[in-house]
């Protein structure tokens, strides 16, 4: 991974508000003085993202808020128009902020790019699936998936990490370069 324990990478991300206005937000602005759960998906409208990952976070949004999460956001290497259409289809409403990383700059800074050009559906370079907790711009936990896996970046996994952190009053287990909170296995 290319990110350090102390900070989330800076980049501009785009989104549409409920009135249909497009906005650009810096990651530092999004995370300043807030606890943010930011999860990434390889692509809008793709099967696992649409049937499991995003619906799981929508379903657990209230629990995450009760656990102290101020902002729940999903980022993907898609344009803002695609993210808006996907959000409408998925009926995410105010539960999850869908963020466009259209040029993949944030994804690259995260060290999370994956080249899916060999797939027949034409995905190209996208983001690996992950979920992280960022507290006031500081990465507290990061669950990064390998390949197309969906094994430890779900809303349930992040809730368990938040509960573990609160119960022990310590950081999630430390990885070499970033805080890592894997429920079933650890990265060293």
Catalytic option among 49, 161, 172, 181? 49
d(CA 35, CA 122): 35
> Which tokens go with 181?
């909170």
d(CA 128, CA 43): 9
Q: b/e per residue, 38-71, with b = 16+ CB within 10 A?
A: bbbbbbbebeebbeebbbbbbebbeebeebebeb
d(CA 104, CA 113): 8
In the residue annotation, 49 being an active-site residue is answered as yes
Catalytic machinery residues:
49
């Amino acid at each position: 991974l290319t990110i350090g324990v102390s900070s989330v990478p800076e980049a501009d991300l785009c989104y549409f508000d409920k009135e249909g206005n497009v906005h650009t937000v810096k990651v530092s602005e999004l995370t300043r003085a807030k606890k943010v759960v930011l999860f990434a998906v390889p692509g809008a409208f793709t099967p696992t993202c649409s049937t499991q990952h995003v619906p799981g976070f929508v379903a657990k949004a209230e629990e995450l808020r009760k656990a102290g999460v101020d902002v729940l956001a999903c980022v993907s290497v898609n344009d803002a128009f695609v993210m808006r259409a996907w959000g409408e289809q998925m009926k995410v409403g105010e539960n999850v902020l869908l963020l466009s990383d259209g040029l993949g700059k944030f994804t690259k800074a995260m060290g999370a790019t994956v080249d899916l050009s060999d797939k027949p559906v034409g995905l190209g370079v996208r983001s690996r699936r992950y979920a992280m907790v960022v507290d006031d711009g500081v990465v507290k936990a990061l669950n990064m998936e390998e390949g197309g896996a969906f094994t430890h970046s779900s809303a349930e996994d992040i809730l368990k990490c938040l509960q573990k952190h609160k119960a022990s009053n310590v950081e999630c287990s430390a990885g070499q370069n970033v805080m890592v909170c894997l429920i079933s296995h650890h990265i060293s």
